[in-house]
């Protein structure tokens, strides 16, 4: 029943939006004063008209959530560090390592949607703790309707699918039947996987499962994805994609 409901909602959303959505990968960071996964990159992505921002989330040893791509930053492994250990860390633009709650506080004032990636953690239990805390922080800020969850961890995908009615997309490329078995409501696959499996693209479209493609940067690749009618394109070059969409 939930699957049918999500399918209908997804189709309505796609019809309502009517065009490929621009997802700024780690925010809009390739510009003055910005940095990957910074709050500035979130604000910048919103300011140029991106539909969504993608961000990566880790759980610290003292069960706090921070926004960063790699498992470690400036030599400090996030999963085994406390917030105090990370207090002096600065991003390339001078910002402190963003706490997820502060990042979400900033998002509340903006229009941009959120594509929240939970990174694979050391144990399923830590992924459950991280996911439940992410859901809580999103919910208490009224951001639930603007959020999609993604992960390379199939365990985390299943957790988000079981515990929310949000869109949940798997990052690990797999056949649509496996995707559905996992509980995912869409595919978030890399460009080479989608190029290698045109039958998956057809099947996903026939099933009404949205397709997000990552990480597409070259203009010719961006245009190819637009021609394929993918629902979302995750890119480090959001301005180029917006220009192509407006042509």
Query: Which residues here bind Mg ion, judged by CB under 5 A?
Result: 56, 117
User: Which residues, including other chains, have CB under 8 Å from residue 32's CB and lie 6 or more apart?
Assistant: none
- The least distance separating Mg ion from the CB of residue 119, rounded to whole angstroms, comes to 8
CB of 115 to Mg ion, least distance (A): 8
Query: Could you tell me which residues come within 8 angstroms of residue 104 by beta carbon, excluding any fewer than 6 positions away?
Result: 114, 137, 138, 141, 143
Beta bridge partners of 116: 55, 149
Pairing outcome for strands 76-77 and 113-118 = unpaired
Residue tagged 């229009």 (tokens): 111
Comparing CB distances to Mg ion, the nearer of 95 and 117 is: 117
- Whichever of 51 and 117 has its CB closer to Mg ion, that residue is 117
Judged by beta carbon, residue 43 or residue 171, the one nearer Mg ion is: 171
- Nearest Cα to 76, choosing from 87, 65, 63? 87
| Min separation Cβ 199 and Mg ion, Å | 26
For residues 82 and 214, which CB has a smaller minimum distance to Mg ion in the complex? 214
CB nearer to Mg ion: pick between 54 and 231: 54
* Tokens 């203009």 belong to residue: 219
CB of 76 to Mg ion, least distance (A): 19
Closest CA to 197 of 181, 216, 221, 213: 213
When CB distances to Mg ion are compared, the closest residue is 117
Exposure string of 153-171, with b = 16+ CB inside 10 Å and e = fewer, is: bbbbbbbbbeebebbbbbb
85 CB-contact burial (10 Å; exposed 0-12 / middle 13-18 / buried 19+): middle
Least distance from C-beta 172 to Mg ion, angstroms? 13
**Would you say 30 or 117 has its CB closer to Mg ion?**
117
Task: Dig out the tokens for 145 from the structure.
Answer: 């309707």
Rounded to the nearest whole angstrom, what is the least distance from the CB of residue 41 to Mg ion in the complex?
13
Do the bridges between strand 168-170 and strand 147-151 make them parallel or antiparallel, or are there none, so unpaired?
A: parallel
Residue 46 or 117: the one with the smaller Cβ distance to Mg ion is 117
Catalogue the E-assigned strands of 20-89.
Answer: 21-25, 52-59, 65-67, 72-73, 76-77
Least Å distance, CB 215 to Mg ion, is: 8
């Amino acid at each position: 029943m939930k699957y049918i409901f999500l399918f209908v909602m997804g189709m309505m959303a796609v019809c309502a939006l009517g065009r490929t959505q621009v997802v700024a990968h780690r925010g809009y960071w390739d510009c003055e004063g910005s940095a990957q996964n910074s709050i500035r990159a979130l604000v910048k992505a919103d300011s140029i008209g991106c539909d969504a921002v993608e961000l990566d989330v880790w759980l610290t040893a003292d069960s706090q959530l921070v926004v960063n791509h790699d498992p470690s930053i400036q030599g400090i492994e996030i999963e085994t560090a406390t917030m105090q250990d990370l207090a002096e860390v600065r991003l390339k633009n001078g910002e402190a390592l963003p706490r997820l709650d502060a990042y979400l506080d900033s998002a509340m004032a903006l229009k941009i949607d959120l594509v929240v990636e939970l990174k694979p953690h050391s144990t399923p239990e830590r992924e459950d703790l991280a996911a439940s805390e992410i859901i809580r922080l999103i919910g208490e800020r009224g951001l639930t309707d603007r959020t999609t969850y993604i992960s390379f961890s199939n365990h985390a995908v299943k957790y988000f699918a079981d515990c929310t009615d949000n869109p949940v997309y798997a990052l690990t490329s797999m056949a649509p039947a496996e995707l559905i078995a996992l509980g995912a409501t869409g595919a978030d696959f890399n460009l080479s996987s989608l190029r290698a499996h045109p039958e998956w693209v057809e099947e996903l479209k026939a099933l009404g499962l949205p397709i997000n493609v990552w990480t597409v940067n070259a203009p010719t690749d961006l245009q190819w994805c637009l021609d394929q009618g993918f629902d979302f394109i995750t890119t480090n070059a959001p301005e180029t994609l917006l220009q192509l969409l407006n042509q």
